[in-house]
Structure 1
Amino acid sequence: MNLINKKVTHKRFGIGSIVKHNDSSIEIHFASENKMFVFPDVFGQHLKLHDKSDAKVLEEIIQKKEIERKEEERKKEEEQKRQREKLVLRLEHEKLMKNHKLHPASQMVFWCDTEEQNNAFSEWQVFSGVLKSGNNKGKPNKPSRLHQNSAVLLTAIDSSMSEKDRRILGVYMVKEDFVGKLCEDGQIPAHSKYRIQLTEQESDQLLFWQYYINEKFPEKMTWKTGKYRYFENLWMAQILLDIISLKSDPNEQELAQQFFKHFCKMNQITVEEITKPNGALMRI
């Protein structure tokens, strides 16, 4: 819109003509001097165009600018709200990290079906499943015991085999900043480094019930319901130690050793504390 030489009236400076303008400023020549103003903000209350046609077009421009300004303010407020929410979550996360007390059974053993076996190792995460009853029925299970010291053990069993033949497929530490109490979607992602997949031959040598036992029913090897159950920290250390001995490739063995050391450090376990596996299979 070209406003050069257009006549205007200012409440304070009187009649003048527009000398030059751009998208953000306008210069007007009055009888005594030239004045600079913010464009188009000065129009409306302080400055009026004499030409009615130009004034109408300018009014439309001002309205458009006002809509854009309000939209920008709305986006800014939304961003500030997001930042406040992120700050609250971060402070809550830091509080949980600072006050976290190790639970003796803060590891997870997960039952993978055929589809989950593929996804677990391609995406390196598992889904905790949904609640079957209660007020939160249908919502994801919240793995509240899992923390930075937690590992997820992946297991499976062929449909033709009995529960005692459940094999260990792999294991991973949870993601570095994962806090189960804050997990709303049920997705449990893996650590960027500490993750191990076993070969089929290695899995055949690493049976879950060699390590796990139900203290109330030590002679039973049953998994009735649910995608996961919690697992003792020391049992996980036993498994990681045995994985080291299974690995023949030097690089894989080195990773397994680093995984084991990291796990023991995070769970305050010394090598001397780790006993021989004494799960249900070992008591037959």
Structure 2
Amino acid sequence: MNLINKKVTHELFGMGSIVKHNDSVIEIHFASENKKFVFPDVFGKHLKLHDKIVANSLGEIIQKREAERKQEERKKEEEKKLQLKNQELRLEHEKLMKNHKLHSESQMVFWCDTEEQNSSFSEWKVFSGVIKSGNNQGKPNKPIRLHQNSAVLLTAIDSGMPEKDRRILGVYMVNEDFIGKLCEDGYIPAHSQYRIQLTEQESDQMLFWKYYVNEKFPHKMTWNTGKYRYFNNSWMAQILFDIVSLKSDPKEQELAQQFFEHYCKMNQINDQELAKPNGALLRI
């Protein structure tokens, strides 16, 4: 918009004409001197254009800028709220990390279907599933017992095979800063280092029910429903110990040993006093 030579009236300096302007500053020649003002803010408050057509066009520009300014303010306010929320989450996270008390059954065994057997290892995470009923129906399950000391055991059972033949496919510690109570999306990511995938031949030798037992029904091997179960910290240590013995490649065995030692440290388990497996499969 060209405003050069347009006549104006200022509430203090009287009549004048515009001599220069750009997107942010306007210069006006009055009877005694030239004055500069913020453009277009000065219009409508202290300065009026004589040309009504141009004044209407300028008014539209001012309204547009005002709308953009308010939108920018809303955006900044939303960013401020998001920063505050993230700060509160960080403080809650730090508090939970600091005050965490070990639970005796803070390990998870997960039932992988055919598709999950591939995705669990390519993405190194599992999904805890959704709540089936109640006020939170449809929302992801929160794996509330999982913490820094937790590991996730991946298992599967071949089609047509009995439950007693459930195989261990692999295992991983949860991500370094994972806290189940704060898990809103239901995904449980793996630790960057402590993760193991077994070969098919190794998996055939690692039967889940060798380690796991339902204390109420010690001779039964049934899964029933659901994608996962929590289980005893010592049982996971037994599994990791046997995986170390199972590995023949020196490098893989060393990594498995490091995993085992880290797990025992995180769960305050004395590996020298670790009991032998006594799962339901061994009680038949």
Structure 1, unmatched stretches of 5+, are none
Structure 2, unmatched stretches of 5+, are none
1:56 alignment partner in structure 2: 56
1:131-146 equivalences under 5 Å are 131-146=131-146
One-letter amino acid of the counterpart of residue 76, structure 1 = K
1:235-276 per-position Cα deviation (integer Å, ceiling 9, x unaligned): 111111111122222332232222222212221222223222
How far apart, in 1, do the equivalents of 2:242 and 2:37 lie? 78
1:17 alignment partner in structure 2: 17
In the TM superposition, residue 214 of structure 1 has moved relative to its aligned partner by 1.3
1:158-177 equivalences under 5 Å are 158-177=158-177
How far apart, in 1, do the equivalents of 2:99 and 2:170 lie? 30
Residue 102 of structure 2: SS of its match in structure 1? coil
1:72 alignment partner in structure 2: 72
Q: For structure 1, which segment, 51-60 or 107-116, has the greater mean C-alpha deviation from structure 2 after superposition?
A: 51-60
2:4 alignment partner in structure 1: 4
How many pairs does the alignment contain?
Answer: 284
1:84 alignment partner in structure 2: 84
1:181 alignment partner in structure 2: 181
1:234 alignment partner in structure 2: 234
1:198 and 2:198 matched: yes
Residue 265 of structure 1: SS of its match in structure 2? helix
Residue 26 of structure 2: SS of its match in structure 1? strand
How far apart, in 2, do the equivalents of 1:122 and 1:220 lie? 33
1:126 alignment partner in structure 2: 126
Q: For structure 1, which segment, 269-278 or 72-81, has the greater mean C-alpha deviation from structure 2 after superposition?
A: 269-278
One-letter amino acid of the counterpart of residue 139, structure 2 = K
Residue 190 of structure 2: SS of its match in structure 1? strand
Q: For structure 1, which segment, 69-78 or 129-138, has the greater mean C-alpha deviation from structure 2 after superposition?
A: 129-138
Residue 225 of structure 2: SS of its match in structure 1? coil
How far apart, in 1, do the equivalents of 2:252 and 2:21 lie? 70
One-letter amino acid of the counterpart of residue 120, structure 1 = S
Residue 230 of structure 2: SS of its match in structure 1? strand
In the TM superposition, residue 23 of structure 1 has moved relative to its aligned partner by 0.9
Residue 117 of structure 1: SS of its match in structure 2? helix
Residue 225 of structure 1: SS of its match in structure 2? coil
1:265 and 2:265 matched: yes
1:279 and 2:279 matched: yes
In the TM superposition, residue 192 of structure 1 has moved relative to its aligned partner by 2.0
In the TM superposition, residue 67 of structure 1 has moved relative to its aligned partner by 0.9
In the TM superposition, residue 15 of structure 1 has moved relative to its aligned partner by 1.4
Residue 181 of structure 2: SS of its match in structure 1? helix
TM-score, normalised relative to structure 2: 0.95
2:214 alignment partner in structure 1: 214
How far apart, in 1, do the equivalents of 2:33 and 2:253 lie? 84
How far apart, in 2, do the equivalents of 1:107 and 1:209 lie? 15
1:73-109 per-position Cα deviation (integer Å, ceiling 9, x unaligned): 1111111111121122222211211111010110000
TM-score, normalised relative to structure 1: 0.95
